[in-house]
Structure 1
Amino acid sequence: MTQDAFIQQLRHELRSLPKHVVDEIVADYREYIGDALAAGRSEAEVIAALGDPVKLARELRAQASFRQWETRRSFGNLLRVVVSIAGLGLVQLILLVPFIFYLTLLTCAYVISAAMLVAGLATVVLLGSHHAFGWPSVDRIPFSFQGSSQGGDSEQGDDSEAGDNAPNHREGADASMLKHVNVPDFRVDGDRFVLRPQSGTHMSVVTTAGTVELRNEGGKLRVTSTGAAPAQFDVKGDVWTIHRTDVVALDVRTAGGDTLSAARMGGGSGDMAWDVKSDKDHVSFVEGGKDGPMLAVHSEGDSVVIDKNHVAIDSDGDHVLIVGPHGSSIGALLYGVAMLVGGALGLWLCLWLTRLTWRGLVRYVRHHAERIAQRLETGAP
C-alpha cells in the first residue's frame, strides 16, 4: 500500500471526527512517514509497520473520545468512549450488549422509583391536607359508569365526577323515604317518631327504659309495657310520640299486611337500619353506621341500591351500575406513604448503583486508553 492510499483510507475512517482533528492526525502521520523515509526506510516497510489503517482509525477514534471525556466528564461522553473501545474487539463488543441491557434496566428503575415518589408525595400531601384542614374536599370523587340492557348494549366511561351535593341528596333521601311509603300508622316528625295505630295494627317499641306494645283492636287501643317506657312517650289521645334517641328498636304491622321495622346500629342514636314493606314495594336503608348510609328500593321488577361505593339500578331488564372508589382515605394515605418510602428507597438504590457503575466505567476506560496510547506510541507519533 502506498503512502497516499494509506492516508486516504485513514482519513475516510476518521470522517466521524471533527475536520480539524482529522487534519491534525493526518499531518502527524505524513510527518512520521516522511521522517522514516528520510531515515532510509522503504515506503512499504513504513506503511506495514503502521498496520491496518481501519484498525488504526478505530484506536485513534477511541483515543479522541477519551480526550473529549477528560475535557468534559459527562455520562454521555463516557459511554462514547466505552462504545469506541468495544469496537476494537469482538469480545468487548459482546460484553457491551449485557451492559446496555443493564443500563436499560437501571433507567427503568429510575422512572418507576421517581413515579412512585411523586405519586406517593401527592397522595400524602392531598389526603394529609384533607384530614388536617378539610381541603381538598373528597365530596367530588371519580367513578366509573357501566350500563347494559336486554339488547346487550353496554357502555363504559371514566373520569366523571359526582356532584358536590351528592352526600346531601343521599341524606335527604334517607330522611324522606318514610314519607313516600304508605304506612299511615307511623311517620317521622323532625327528631321524633309519631305512632298512631289504626284498626288492626300492632306496634312494638323497644326503648332505652323498657318496651311498649300498642294494639288497636276494633278501634280500642290496648297498651302493654315494661319498665318506665311509657314515661318516655308524649301521649295525646291515640297519638304516641317519642324522641328517636330513646328508641332502640321498632316494629309495626298493619292489618293490610304492611310492615315497618327499625333497629339501632352500634352506639350512635342516629345510626339505624330500616326495612319497610308496603303492597309490592320494599324499601330498606341505613342511616349512619360505620359503613356509611345505604338505600335499597324494590318495586315489583325494579330496584335501586345505593351505598357508599356504588349505585345499582335495575328496571325491566336494564341494568345501570355506577361504582365509586373503594376503601377509606386512611387506607389510601397508608398506600401513599408506602409508595413515598418505596420510591425514595428505589431512587437511593439507583443512585448507589449509578455511582458504582461510574467508577467501574472510569477504571475500564482508563485501562484501555493507556493500552491504546502505548500501541500508538510504538508504531507512530
Structure 2
Amino acid sequence: MKQDAFIQQLRQELGRLPKEAVDEIVADYREYIGDALAAGRQEEEVIAALGDPVKLARELKAQANYRQWEKRRSFGNLMRVVGAVAGLGFLQLVLLVPFLLYLFVLTLGYVISSALAIAGLVTVLAITSHHFFGKPALDALPFSLTESNDASTNAALSGDAASADEKAADALSDMKDLKIVGNRFVFDLQDGGKVNLVTRAGPLAIRKDNDKLEITAPSDAARALLTNGQDSTLSIARDDVTVLDLRDEDGDRVSFARTGPNGKSAWHIRGEDDENVSFEQDPNGHTSRLVIKSGEDSVTIDGTKIAIANGKDHVQISNSGGLLANSANHGMAFGYALAMLAFGILGLVLCVWLTRFTWRALARYVKHQIDIVTASLDREQAT
C-alpha cells in the first residue's frame, strides 16, 4: 500500500474526531513516513510496518477520546472512551454487554429509589400538612358547630348519647294504651281511647267509652285477626297491620305505618306540649333514624350523624362511626409513607455509592486499556 492510500484511509477512519485532531495525527504520520523514507527504507515496507489503517485508527481514536476525558472528566466523555476501547477487539466488546446491563440496573435503581422517596415525602407532607401549613388533618373530626350558650345543648354534647334503639324502645314503653309484646300489638285502651287499624283483611276500629269496648269491623276476617287477652286487652299480630292510629283522651297520639314490602316501618308519637318522637325501624326492629322534638329543641340521630338544635344554635357530628377506622387507616398510611421515604433514601445512597465505585473502577480499566494501546503504537513506530 502506498503512502497516499494509507493516509486517505486513515483520515477516513478518523472522521468522527475533530478536524484539528485528525490533521495533527495525519501530519505526525506523514512526518514519520518521510523520516523513514529519508533513512533509505522502502515505502511499502514502512506502510506495512504501520499495520492496518482501520485498526490503527481505532487505537488512535481511543487515545484521543481518553485525552479528551482527562481534560474534562464527564460521564459522556467516559462513555466515548469505553465505546472506543470496546471497538478494539472481540473480548472488549463481550465485556461491554454485562457492563451495559449493569448500568441499566443501576439507572433503574435510581428511578425506583427516587420514586419511593418522592412518593413517601409527598404522603408525609400531605398527612402532616396541618402542622406545617395550617391545613386540616386527614383524620380531623368532621364537626359542624355554631356558638351556643344553652345549658341543655352543652349537657347533651358532654354526656354519652344513648343508642337510637334504646330511645325508640323507651318512647314505646311510655305509651299507656299500646304495648308491644313480642311480635304483637297489645291494646289496653283507657276511657276515651280509640284506635283505627288497616289490616291485611280490611279496616278495624276499636273504641272504649264508659269502660265499654266497642269493635267495628266491616268483615269477619278482619275481626278474626284480633285476640282477646286478660284484663279486657286485645292483641293483633304486627305483621297483619299496615297502618295504626291510636289516640287517648289526653290528646296523645301514636301512628304506625308499614313503609315497604321488606318490613320497614315508621313511628310517630306525639304527646303534650308539642312533644313528639319519630323513628324508623327495619324488619329486625333496629332503629335507623330517630327524631325527638320538644318545641324548638330537637335531637336527630340518623345513622352516623347526630344533630342537636334549640332554634338558635345547631351542633352536628357526622361520620362518628368511622373516626376510629379513619384514624387507623391514616396511621397506617403514615407508616407506609415513612417506610417508602426511608427505603427511597437508602436506595439513593446505595446507588450513589455504586456510581462512585463504578466510576473509579471504570476509570482504572480504561487507563489500563489505553496504556496497552499506547505501548502497541510505540512498538509499531519503533519497528
Q: How many angstroms does 1:376 deviate by? A: 1.2
Alpha-carbon separation, structure 2, partners of 1:43 and 1:255 = 120
> Contact 1:197–1:238 at 8 Å: present in 2 too?
no
1:140-176 Cα deviation digits (max 9, x unpaired): 9xxxxxxxxxxxxxxxxxxxxxxxxx986xxxxxxxx
> Which residue of structure 2 aligns with residue 15 of structure 1?
15
> Which residue of structure 2 aligns with residue 218 of structure 1?
189
> Which residue of structure 2 aligns with residue 335 of structure 1?
336
Matched length = 262
> Which residue of structure 1 aligns with residue 273 of structure 2?
none
Question: Are residue 379 (structure 1) and residue 364 (structure 2) matched?
Answer: no
Output the amino acid matched with 1:328.
N
> Contact 2:177–2:190 at 8 Å: present in 1 too?
yes
Output the amino acid matched with 1:217.
D
> Contact 2:168–2:287 at 8 Å: present in 1 too?
no
> Contact 1:2–1:44 at 8 Å: present in 2 too?
yes
SS in 2 for 1:116: helix
Output the amino acid matched with 2:40.
G
Question: Are residue 48 (structure 1) and residue 19 (structure 2) matched?
Answer: no
> Which residue of structure 1 aligns with residue 101 of structure 2?
101
The verdict on how the C-alpha distance between 1:89 and 1:200 changes in structure 2, with shifts beyond 3 A counting, is same
Q: How many angstroms does 1:380 deviate by? A: 2.9
> Which residue of structure 2 aligns with residue 368 of structure 1?
369
Q: How many angstroms does 1:120 deviate by? A: 0.6
> Which residue of structure 2 aligns with residue 346 of structure 1?
347
SS in 1 for 2:128: helix
> Contact 2:177–2:187 at 8 Å: present in 1 too?
yes
1:21-54 Cα deviation digits (max 9, x unpaired): 1000000000000000000100011001100000
The verdict on how the C-alpha distance between 1:132 and 1:66 changes in structure 2, with shifts beyond 3 A counting, is closer
Output the amino acid matched with 1:277.
D
> Which residue of structure 2 aligns with residue 160 of structure 1?
none
State the identity %. Answer: 50
Q: How many angstroms does 1:195 deviate by? A: 7.5
> Contact 2:119–2:340 at 8 Å: present in 1 too?
yes
The verdict on how the C-alpha distance between 1:98 and 1:288 changes in structure 2, with shifts beyond 3 A counting, is farther
Output the amino acid matched with 1:287.
T
Could you say what the CA RMSD is over the residues aligned between the two structures, in angstroms? 4.6
Q: How many angstroms does 1:200 deviate by? A: 2.5
SS in 1 for 2:282: strand
Alignment of 1:80-159 (within 5 A): 80-130=80-130, 135-136=135-136, 138=138
Question: Are residue 201 (structure 1) and residue 170 (structure 2) matched?
Answer: no
> Contact 2:257–2:265 at 8 Å: present in 1 too?
no
Alpha-carbon separation, structure 2, partners of 1:281 and 1:129 = 41
1:63-107 Cα deviation digits (max 9, x unpaired): 000000000001121111111001000111011011111101111
Q: How many angstroms does 1:133 deviate by? A: 6.6
> Contact 1:201–1:254 at 8 Å: present in 2 too?
no
The verdict on how the C-alpha distance between 1:193 and 1:119 changes in structure 2, with shifts beyond 3 A counting, is farther
Alpha-carbon separation, structure 2, partners of 1:288 and 1:95 = 70
1:204-253 Cα deviation digits (max 9, x unpaired): 9xxxxxxxxxx8622489xxxxxxxxxxxxxxx898xxxxxxxxxxxx99
- Tell me whether 131-140 or 93-102 shows the greater mean CA deviation: 131-140
Q: How many angstroms does 1:3 deviate by? A: 0.3
What are the ranges of 5 or more consecutive residues in structure 2 without an aligned counterpart?
145-166, 194-249, 268-278, 290-301, 307-317
SS in 2 for 1:340: helix
Alpha-carbon separation, structure 1, partners of 2:130 and 2:251 = 50
Alpha-carbon separation, structure 1, partners of 2:53 and 2:304 = 89
Under a length normalisation based on structure 2, what TM-score does the superposition of the two structures give? 0.58
Output the amino acid matched with 2:117.
L
Question: Are residue 357 (structure 1) and residue 362 (structure 2) matched?
Answer: no
Which structure has more helix as a fraction of its residues? Answer: 2
Q: How many angstroms does 1:196 deviate by? A: 5.6
Alpha-carbon separation, structure 1, partners of 2:370 and 2:73 = 15
Q: How many angstroms does 1:57 deviate by? A: 0.1
> Which residue of structure 2 aligns with residue 6 of structure 1?
6
SS in 2 for 1:201: strand
Output the amino acid matched with 1:58.
R
> Contact 2:127–2:137 at 8 Å: present in 1 too?
no
Question: Are residue 287 (structure 1) and residue 312 (structure 2) matched?
Answer: no
Output the amino acid matched with 1:201.
K
> Contact 1:286–1:293 at 8 Å: present in 2 too?
no
Q: How many angstroms does 1:282 deviate by? A: 8.5
SS in 1 for 2:178: coil
Alpha-carbon separation, structure 1, partners of 2:94 and 2:327 = 51
Output the amino acid matched with 1:77.
N
The verdict on how the C-alpha distance between 1:253 and 1:238 changes in structure 2, with shifts beyond 3 A counting, is closer
> Contact 2:66–2:81 at 8 Å: present in 1 too?
yes
> Which residue of structure 2 aligns with residue 36 of structure 1?
36
The verdict on how the C-alpha distance between 1:46 and 1:331 changes in structure 2, with shifts beyond 3 A counting, is same
Under a length normalisation based on structure 1, what TM-score does the superposition of the two structures give? 0.58
Larger Rg computed on CA atoms: 2
Q: How many angstroms does 1:127 deviate by? A: 0.6
1:241-269 Cα deviation digits (max 9, x unpaired): xxxxxxxxxxx9979787789xxxxxxxx
Which structure has more strand as a fraction of its residues? Answer: 1
